[in-house]
Every structure is written in C-alpha cells, then in structure tokens.
C-alpha cells in the first residue's frame, strides 16, 4: 500500500486506440499529441495532408499511430476514414470551423456549411462508427462544443447554433450507448489560443481580459479530453465539461 | 514540459470528511499521486486508520466536527499553506416538505453549507490558501433534480454551488480555482445510512452505467486538483452514471 513506485495515476490511456479529428492544428493537434503521450495509439484525421503529417511526426513514438486524410463533410471520405480506423476505445471530435456572421446578413448556404462541419460531421461519423461496430465496449466519445453554446456574442449565431445542436444530441446518445458501457460527453471551452481565432491578435488580447485565468491553451483542452477518455471517468456521461478560465457566466 | 500535469507531488491538500466514503477515497488517490494530506474527520480512530494506510509520508490528521466554530478555528490554526482543499464532509437526511422543521433545515445547512463556506472564509482570511490553489466542493446531483424529500438537502447543495462561483471569481486574481463535483448515488456509508428510509439500491439501478464507487468521484476531484485542469474554474462536474440524463 505504501509502495509509491508501483503506483501509476489513473489519467492514462495505455492499451487504448483513440481517433482524433481535426488533428492537423490547434486543439485537435494538442489532443493527439497528449493522448499519445498518455499511452494511447492514435488515429489522426484532418484535411491538410502536409499539416497532418506534421502532427504525426509530433506523436510519441513506439505505437503504430495512423494518419488518415479525409474531409468529414464528404460522405465517401468519411467512409474511408471509418474503414481505416480499426477498433476504437475513444473518439475526440475536434474538427470544426468558424461560423461568424450577423443574422441579417446570413445566407442559408453559409449556415449549411457551418452545420455540415460542426454538427453533421461529428454526428454522422458517430453514426457510422456505431453502425460499423467500430467502437469497443466502454468506448468514450468526446465532442468539442463551446462556451458559445451557452453564452451570447454578437455575430456568433451560426457557430453557437451548431455547437448547441451538438450538445442537444449528446444526452440521447449517452442513453442509447450506455448498455455497452460507452459514454458521450462534450467539452465546452472558452477562447483557446489556436489558429482558428488568433489571426487577429489585438482582438484576442482584448477578449483575454474577460477571462479571470486568461486564455486557454490547446493542452488545457487535451488534458480534459484525457480525463474523459480514461477509465477513471467511466461514470461520467451526457455532460458538458466547462473549460473557460472561470469566465463569469451561468 | 517538466512535471506531469497529472502529478500532485509537492502539494499539500486538506480533505474534510476524510475518514470514510468519497473523502477517504480522495485521500488515498491524492496521496498516491504525491500529495501531502491534511485529513480532517470526526472519528479519531477511523481517521487514523485511513492516514496510516496512505502512500507517502508527512500526512497530518485533525479530528473535529466542522460545524463547530472552535473546531474550524483549530483546523485553520493547524493548517500549513494549502495548495488544494477538498470539502467532502456532508450529511443527508430526508424529509417531505410538509414535515420539514427548523431543526432539519439548520442541521443540513450547518453541515453541507455553513461548514464548507465558513471554513473557506477562515482559510482565506488567514491566508492559508496558496496562490494557484484548487478548491473542490462535493455537492450532489440532487441540487439539479431535487427528488422527493430532498428539498432541504438539495437546497443546501445548490446554495453551496452558487457560493462557489463567487469564491472562484473573487480569488481568480491569485490563480485560485474553485469547482464542484456533483455526484449521483455513490456507494458510501452516507448512502447506507439512508437504507431504512429509501430503497437506495433501486434508485442506483436506474442509472444506466450502474452504481458509482467513491473512487470514481475521487478521480474527478484529483483531476480538478491537478495542474491538468489549471484553466477550469467556477464549474460543476456531474458524475451521475447517467441517472439524470432524462431530466437535465
């Protein structure tokens, strides 16, 4: 009992294979890197072959990590990814796009592209993984939501709606997959310093003042994903894990 | 990166209610992750047994009932600078609303609200909370669902959750974080104590992922204490095995 050397903390993913979408940059890349460091074999997906290759090169060596280039808004490409995955113990849906436009200027075609990338892609990838029996019993599904699903920001309507749709899907999904001890949870981060949002540094610095603990780093999100993927969270399902530097909202 | 974001090495962590249930499991896990534990509980013998069994060295015990102002004062005086606090001392009693008394209300609020809140106040006032410390409060998913006969228990836990948000926002400047874990039915002595007034086994069977063990809650608490969650504050993590999915 007092033997410290034999103890290994429960926040590890040894023996697990985890699919990470959107792994070519930002949060997805950090999730892939940290999952590999936590002991997982990682299947990474993204649209940009060169940048996805860069992520693959960053992964802790030793396990047979796989990169699969696919645009998940295109069904044949998604099918190719599902076929390439093999059996999975976890999925982190980190692929996503901006969706910023004031409502009076919104075109339906724009709304559709935001929904396709942020809502329908993770939803239908989950459907495919379930239908093709790719998920092992006890698998943990982690969806990337956003604080924007819960708060109001001018112009962010399409993005907020797409993330709120995702969160709405998670509770029924959690109930449907529970008989196989599988779980579904969302992570709802505030502003994380990633290429998705850091092209305008002045705007980002101004926004950072709203966050009592500052802006998030991609690794912060990765560590939350590791908690939700690990067996230690086996009783956590259907939740949103809020990760936002303590920004005041309810 | 040097140290593992999941290590508690070099951290001193206060755990209330450490002599059994969630507090005991949290003490075991945090000690195994490298923390030095200040364990607080009412039962001297059980507390000593828990601490004797912890990994590592230099752990401390302090016996006392934290609803007693003198016991809180003694704890605050004895406490070193704390890098983490886990407020897991709590009690549940059931009463349908038409039978609620002032005494029932006072007892449940004294243990579940006043004690953790006033202990936090005293630790902050005496500067016992180190910069970048993480405070974790154990509430209950009852705060959201408030089933039959839990009106006052649920109310005390919901009140605690609200106050924790203020603690978080007031002390973020020092990098201090404050969060709640909100469990469903956990297999603890507290739940056993309710067996004569409700069928807790039947209730737990309603949870799609089954009965929750104290170690499951301890895992969430340890994550909230570790540097891995340095950007998480002012939130509440539900660990309910899916029990309340259909109503939240």
Q: Is A37 helix (H, G, I), strand (E, B) or coil?
A: helix
* B17 domain-assigned: yes
- What is the domain extent for residue B93? 12-237
Whether A213 contacts chain B with CB within 8 A: yes
Neighbours of B123 (CB within 10 A): 21
A16 is catalytic: no
CATH code for position B169: 3.40.50.720
Asked if the model's pLDDT at residue A3 lies above 70, the reply is: no
B245 within some domain: no
The predicted complex's ipTM stands at 0.95
Q: Report pLDDT digits (tens) over B98-136.
A: 999 999 999 999 999 999 999 999 999 999 999 999 999
- Entry pTM: 0.96
- Candidate list A24, A25, A140, A159, residue with the active-site label: A159
Total domains, chain B = 1
Q: Regarding the domain with residue range A12-243, which homologous superfamily does it belong to in the CATH classification?
A: NAD(P)-binding Rossmann-like Domain (3.40.50.720)
| Burial class, A182, CB count within 10 angstroms (exposed 0-12 / middle 13-18 / buried 19+) | buried
Tally of residues, chain B: 248
Local structure of residue B211 (DSSP, 8 states): P
Judged by DSSP in three states, A216 sits in strand
Inter-chain contact B32–A7, Cβ cutoff 8 Å? yes
Within a domain: residue B170? Answer: yes
Q: Residue A179: its chain B contacts at CB < 8 A?
A: 208
Question: Are B239 and A235 an interchain contact pair (Cβ–Cβ within 8 Å)?
Answer: yes
Instruction: Find all residues with CB under 8 Å of B222, minimum gap 6, and list them.
Output: A9, A10, B8, B26, B29, B30, B33
Q: What is the pLDDT of residue A2?
A: 41
pLDDT digits (tens, 9 = 90+) for A134-168: 999 999 999 999 999 999 999 999 999 999 999 99
A29-88: pLDDT as tens digits = 999 999 999 999 999 999 999 999 999 999 999 899 999 999 999 999 999 999 999 999
Interface check B237 vs A, CB under 8 A: yes
């Amino acid at each position: 009992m007092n033997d410290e050397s034999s103890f290994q903390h429960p926040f590890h993913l040894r023996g697990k294979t985890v699919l990470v979408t959107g792994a070519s940059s930002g949060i997805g890349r950090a999730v892939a890197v940290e999952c590999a460091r936590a002991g997982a074999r990682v299947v990474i997906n993204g649209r940009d072959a060169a940048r996805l290759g860069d992520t693959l090169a960053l992964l802790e060596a030793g396990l047979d990590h796989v990169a699969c280039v696919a645009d998940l808004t295109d069904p044949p490409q998604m099918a190719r990814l599902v076929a390439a995955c093999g059996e999975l113990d976890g999925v982190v849906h980190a692929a996503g796009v901006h969706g910023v436009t004031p409502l009076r200027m919104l075109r339906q075609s724009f709304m559709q592209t935001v929904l396709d990338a942020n809502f329908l892609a993770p939803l239908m990838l989950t459907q495919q993984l379930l239908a093709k029996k790719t998920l092992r019993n006890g698998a943990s599904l982690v969806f990337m939501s956003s604080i924007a699903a819960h708060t109001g920001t001018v112009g962010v309507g399409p993005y907020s709606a797409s993330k709120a749709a995702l969160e709405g899907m998670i509770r029924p999904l959690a109930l449907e997959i529970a008989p196989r001890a599988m779980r579904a949870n969302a992570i709802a981060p505030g502003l994380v310093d990633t290429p998705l949002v850091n092209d305008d540094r002045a705007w980002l610095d101004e926004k950072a003042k709203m966050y009592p603990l500052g802006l998030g780093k991609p690794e912060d999100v990765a560590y939350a994903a590791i908690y939700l993927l690990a067996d230690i969270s086996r009783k956590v399902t259907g939740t949103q894990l809020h990760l936002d530097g303590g920004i005041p909202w309810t | 990166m040097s140290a593992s974001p999941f290590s508690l090495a070099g951290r001193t962590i206060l755990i209330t209610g450490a002599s059994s249930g969630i507090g005991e499991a949290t003490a075991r896990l945090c000690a195994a992750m490298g923390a030095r534990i200040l364990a607080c509980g009412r039962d001297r013998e059980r507390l000593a047994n828990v601490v004797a069994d912890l990994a590592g060295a230099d752990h401390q015990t302090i016996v006392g009932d934290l609803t007693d102002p003198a016991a809180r004062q003694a704890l605050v005086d004895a406490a070193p600078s704390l890098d983490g606090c886990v407020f897991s001392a709590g009690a549940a009693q059931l009463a349908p609303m038409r039978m609620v008394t002032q005494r029932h209300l006072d007892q449940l609020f004294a243990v579940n609200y006043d004690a953790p809140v006033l202990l936090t106040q005293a630790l902050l006032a005496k500067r016992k909370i180190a910069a970048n410390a993480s405070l974790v409060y154990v509430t209950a998913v009852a705060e959201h669902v408030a089933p039959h006969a839990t009106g006052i228990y649920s109310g005390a836990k919901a009140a605690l959750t609200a106050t924790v948000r203020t603690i978080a926002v007031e002390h973020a400047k020092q990098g201090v974080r404050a969060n709640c874990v909100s469990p469903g039915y956990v297999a603890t002595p507290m739940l056993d104590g309710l067996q004569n007034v409700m069928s807790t086994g039947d209730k737990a069977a309603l949870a799609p992922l089954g009965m929750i063990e104290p170690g499951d809650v301890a895992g969430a608490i340890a994550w909230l204490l570790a540097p891995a969650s340095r950007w998480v504050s002012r939130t509440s993590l539900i660990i309910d095995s899916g029990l309340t999915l259909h109503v939240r």
